[in-house]
Amino acid sequence: MWKRNFVFRADGQDPLDQTENELFHETDPALDSSGLNMDKYLSVWLQGEGDDQAPSVYTNVYVRTATLDPEKRVGFLQPLQGRTHQIKMMLTPAQKAFLRDWLAKTYPSAWEDADDHFHDIFEDD
């Protein structure tokens, strides 16, 4: 199985340089949010058939919200969401456009072979 992760600031259009694992690996769960200065993020996981190097076809998208206090290194990771309507509501139009362009340009045959349901996630309503 092929997979790739992008992390966006909640209102950002370009992904961060770090993945979810890199950004949240050394953080503690926040037990109480009082006194915390939380930044909001969206973590997008893309999956496909194939090996670690390249997908032969894109198959799934999962998105989760996350918050992090970068100074205190504590945060929350919410459960992954995999339903199309939830994902479409969570991603901004700019984030959908970035992901659609990345998917189509990086592995064009995997994009072409993905089903319409997968493509629909990245279309603006």
Positive or negative CA dihedral for 79, 82, 87, 89?
negative
Measured CA to CA, the distance from residue 83 to residue 87 in angstroms comes to 6
In a domain, 90, yes or no: yes
Measured CA to CA, the distance from residue 4 to residue 52 in angstroms comes to 9
In a domain, 92, yes or no: yes
In a domain, 120, yes or no: no
In a domain, 119, yes or no: no
Maximum CA pair distance of the chain?
Answer: 48
pLDDT band at 24 (very low <50, low <70, confident <90, very high): confident
More confident residue, 119 or 25: 119
Strands 74-77 and 28-29, by their bridges, are parallel
Domains of the chain: total: 1
Q: Is the pLDDT of residue 87 over 70?
A: yes
Range of the domain at 82: 2-114
In a domain, 121, yes or no: no
Tokens 């199309």, residue located: 84
Q: What is the pLDDT of residues 62-86, one digit of tens each?
A: 999 998 887 887 888 888 888 888 9
pLDDT at site 26 = 74
pLDDT band at 32 (very low <50, low <70, confident <90, very high): low
In a domain, 75, yes or no: yes
More confident residue, 50 or 74: 50
In a domain, 70, yes or no: yes
In a domain, 122, yes or no: no
Identity at 45, one-letter amino acid code: W
Helix spans in 1-125 (H): 20-24, 84-90, 93-106, 108-113, 116-121
